[in-house]
Structure 1
Amino acid sequence: MPDDATQIRILITRWADAVHRGDLDGVLADHAEDLVMYDVPAPHHGIHGLAAYRAAWPPFFAWQASGACFDIETLDVTAGEDVAYAHALLRCATPGELAAHPTLRLRLTFGLRKEDGRWLVAHEHHSFPHD
């Protein structure tokens, strides 16, 4: 079995691939029921719980279907025995947006915990830098 950091890297890579495909079940996999997500769009107090997380994705999938990318460029993972965090930079934009702002990257941070030997995402934070 791969070490914890490798397991988490695989989990996040699968998640990003599911986001890119618009696969909601794949996006939800490996997320805790009590997940908290702070996202780019409102609500600014965050999204709490797996049901609210599920409801947040369809508008993004509709936007992404216009030809946007969602590609991991960097991914760093630090894993302890039962908690871990990871941070990543992604290309997340339409071709036109990338042409206008070629260095624009989405910043992602994940907080994970191990439950019954399985890593689950308990926290996500998505942001773009302010220019």
Structure 2
Amino acid sequence: MHYKTLTVSDENQIRVILEDWSVATRQNRKADSFKNHLPDALIYDVLPPLQYESTEIYCENCEDRQPETLGDGQFELENLKITVGSDLAFAHCLISSRGIMPDGRAFHDLARATFCLQKLNGTWKVAHQHISKPYQNSLIDIILKTLDSQVTTKETSFN
């Protein structure tokens, strides 16, 4: 990849693509969410099955990803950073999702996002999308602690 000076045009094109994705995703408009993705884009998501080999497979296997909210909810890209080469670009940000559930409970969630884009015939397309959440103490911690204590117990009994 040859790096070049970031042009306002390239950065703006990519920023618009990702902001459009954000709005369409919040509104559960799947077709619009992926209009700027390559058909064979590799997508990693926080919800199972975690890896999708195309936008079509992602759309077929996913129910509405955004919770129903009273009024407009938020699904915003925060601190979006873009690095552009001549035909490849990378962008990363945090995604802030918040709103009021129909039962009146408020929610706020943060996720990380990385996008890899490819310039084809002068147009930027998302080739890879990776959405992840920070690891948090959960059932996985309980399972790992249980497994660890079982291993420690077995090791001790062999001494």
Task: Give the equivalent residue in structure 1 for 2:38.
Answer: 32
Any stretches of 5+ residues in structure 1 without a counterpart?
A: 99-103
Matched, 1:16 2:22: yes
1:10-33, CA deviations, whole angstroms, 9 ceiling, x for partnerless residues? 110011011112222210111101
Any stretches of 5+ residues in structure 2 without a counterpart?
A: 1-6, 101-105, 137-159
Partner Cα separation in structure 1 for residue 107 and residue 8 of structure 2: 37
Contact 1:24 1:57 in 2 (8 A): no
Q: Which amino acid aligns with 1:49?
A: S
Which has the higher Rg, Structure 1 or Structure 2? 2
Q: Greater shift after overlay, 51-60 or 80-89? A: 51-60
Task: Give the equivalent residue in structure 2 for 1:65.
Answer: 68
Alignment of 1:40-119 (within 5 A): 40-44=46-50, 46-61=51-66, 64-67=67-70, 68-95=73-100, 96-98=106-108, 104-119=109-124
Question: Structure 1 residue 56: deviation in Å?
Answer: 4.2
* Matched position secondary structure for 2:78: strand
Shift in CA distance, 35/70, structure 1 to aligned 2, threshold 3 Å: same
Task: Give the equivalent residue in structure 1 for 2:103.
Answer: none
Matched, 1:124 2:129: yes
Partner Cα separation in structure 1 for residue 60 and residue 128 of structure 2: 16
Partner Cα separation in structure 2 for residue 91 and residue 30 of structure 1: 21
Task: Give the equivalent residue in structure 1 for 2:9.
Answer: 3
How large is the Cα RMSD of the aligned pairs?
Answer: 2.0
* Identity level (%): 29
Q: Which amino acid aligns with 2:130?
A: H
TM-score by length of 1: 0.83
Shift in CA distance, 56/91, structure 1 to aligned 2, threshold 3 Å: farther
Partner Cα separation in structure 2 for residue 56 and residue 4 of structure 1: 32
Runs of 4+ in 1 over 4 A off after TM superposition: none
